Chains A and B, each alone.
Chain A
Amino acid sequence: MKKILVVDDDDAIRMLIEMELKDEGYQVITASNAKDALKLVETEPLDLVILDIRMPGMDGLEALPRILGIKEGLKVILNTAYSQYQESFMSWAADAYLIKSADLTELKTKVKELLA
């Protein structure tokens, strides 16, 4: 079973994504900040990370190269409420950049595509 790490400081969003992805048949673990996420990337076998950008402490753009530094080929989706980070070179290292929405269809499609 493919294993996904969901990183978001917003409890409601994190839980929503977790539930919906579990319904799709994925194994899901979560972290509410980048620091915990990095620990999980180091210790857990993972197939994909869904990463929020604006989080207290370390933000997602800072965490992204660190995640890839630990696991070079790990797939990452940036999932954020803001579009302006798409301009940042740092965001280009992600496999996808999605704007957050209550409707998770786009996210689920992207997950499926990347894990195919």
Chain B
Amino acid sequence: MTWIMERLKELTTIVMAGGKGERLFPLTRDKAKPAIIFGGIYRIIDFTLSNCLNSGIRRIYVLSQYGSLSLDIHLRVTWDIFRADLGEFIYSVPPQQITVNRWYRGTADSIYQNLKLLDEERPKHVLILSGDHVYKMDYLAMLDFHLAKGADLTVAAVPAPRREASAFGILHVDADQRVIGFLEKPADPPGMPGNPEMSLVSMGVYIFGAETLVRELIADAKNQASQHDFGRNIIPHMVGKRKVFAYNFVEQSTGKPAYWRDIGQLDAYFQAHMDLVGERPVFDLYSEDWPMRSQLTLTPPTKYLSHKKPVDITDSLISSGCELHEAKVKRSVLSPRVRVGKGALIEEAIIWNNVRVGLGAKIRRAIIEDGVMIPPRFTIGYDPQADASRFPVTDGGVVVVPNNVTLEGP
């Protein structure tokens, strides 16, 4: 235990949460991406913060920028669990303009602008995380790896299908897990040795030696050609010059690659929800040894009302406080206080808080924002033309119903 405490004292943890989340528009039009609802009762950042908590990390800086109020409110309401008198904290850090008069220009610049914070903390290692990933990870196991390798930088890595990998940084590693090549978001990602259909992608989870990080950030800040981004600039610059290692993110029990998703765009958001449902979900929220923390709300139990026919729910997550009347719900995720009228049919839908689904309405492959009133017999996801004329529709054909529109019944 003492040994763990010692390591934690030498670690500063920074969660980057300032991105604009344009590819999640319209969900991000008035809030930060990490503050978006996920899995019924969570916000996306809850996964990263729960990982910190479960790893024993209780000193956390969250770098915020775009839509920061939504994030600040969530941190206050849900994560006000740290005790200052024990040296614990969670601080939200927007661009302070104390060293430079500008917004965060990129991921690397967001840390550069907070060098003073690192100077005051004087950690040996810096753990850098993102606020928009869904996974369960023990960061101290990664720190052990980082220390065992004597690395300047350790990048967490997981195999991803090659065709999806062009959204990420691709790592090329040798037999000792040393990174010998790094390509940021290549159009045609190279496959892994022995597994040409998969690429080894960077999860955007980094552990740096603190002094290495500071030197790299300063050099990057002075480089006018740089985009000041870890993936585009810092990591490629370090590969071949410094000791950069890849940490394979695997299930501790099976040794197989573990679940990790970047919720970077709407189809990924939708698909990650489909990973939650079913008897053996791809991503399991129910393990007691790695609990996910979320906002505690005082909602009554969900009520299922049968008038003549039963309520028919399969492979779905229904949060508390809902009321469902003789409806059929399949492979869907409902946030608290959703009311579903008689005869409604909901399939593969993500429905946020306080949505009302009218009698006989039909919803398929859709994301419905909080507070939307869906009129009786209204259909979403059945007529692509009608959907596209009213709502944003993703490349994958998922309809997004934002709460700034009023829906007229048929």
- Cβ of B307 < 8 Å from any Cβ of A? no
Q: Count contacts on A: residues with CB < 8 A to the other chain.
A: 12
Q: Which of A8-16, A67-75, A97-105 contacts B (4 or more CB under 8 A)?
A: A67-75
Q: By the criterion CB–CB under 8 Å, are A90 and B224 in contact? A: no
Identify the A interface with B (CB < 8 A).
62, 65-66, 68-69, 72-73, 88-90, 92-93
Select one of B116, B118, B119, B222 contacting A68, CB under 8 A.
Answer: B222
Q: What would 20 more interface pairs be, CB under 8 Å, given A66-B101, A69-B101, A89-B116?
A: A65-B99, A65-B100, A65-B115, A66-B99, A66-B100, A68-B221, A69-B99, A69-B100, A72-B221, A72-B224, A73-B222, A73-B224, A88-B119, A89-B115, A89-B118, A89-B119, A90-B115, A90-B116, A92-B215, A93-B222
Identify the B interface with A (CB < 8 A).
99-102, 115-116, 118-119, 214-215, 218, 221-224
Bound-state CA distance A94–B347 (Å) is 60
Give the interface centre of A62, A73, A92 by most chain B CB atoms within 10 Å.
A92
On chain A, the residues within 8 Å of B223 by CB distance are: 72-73
Bound-state CA distance A73–B223 (Å) is 7
Select one of A65, A72, A89 contacting B214, CB under 8 A.
Answer: A89
On chain B, the residues within 8 Å of A69 by CB distance are: 99-102
Decide if the interface of chain B is mainly helix, strand, loop or mixed. Answer: helix
On chain B, the residues within 8 Å of A73 by CB distance are: 222-224
Minimum distance in angstroms from B202 CB to a CB of chain A = 25
On chain B, the residues within 8 Å of A90 by CB distance are: 115-116, 119
Q: By the criterion CB–CB under 8 Å, are A93 and B218 in contact? A: yes
Bound-state CA distance A89–B12 (Å) is 15
Minimum distance in angstroms from A17 CB to a CB of chain B = 24
Minimum distance in angstroms from A60 CB to a CB of chain B = 13
Minimum distance in angstroms from B170 CB to a CB of chain A = 29
On chain A, the residues within 8 Å of B101 by CB distance are: 66, 69
On chain A, the residues within 8 Å of B100 by CB distance are: 65-66, 68-69
Bound-state CA distance A72–B218 (Å) is 10
Would you list 10 pairs from A and B whose C-beta atoms are within 8 A, ordered by A residue? A65-B99, A65-B100, A69-B100, A72-B223, A73-B222, A89-B119, A89-B214, A90-B115, A92-B214, A92-B215
- Which 6 residue pairs across A and B have the least CB separation, nearest first? A69-B100, A65-B99, A89-B119, A93-B218, A89-B214, A72-B224
Bound-state CA distance A43–B102 (Å) is 19
Bound-state CA distance A72–B118 (Å) is 21
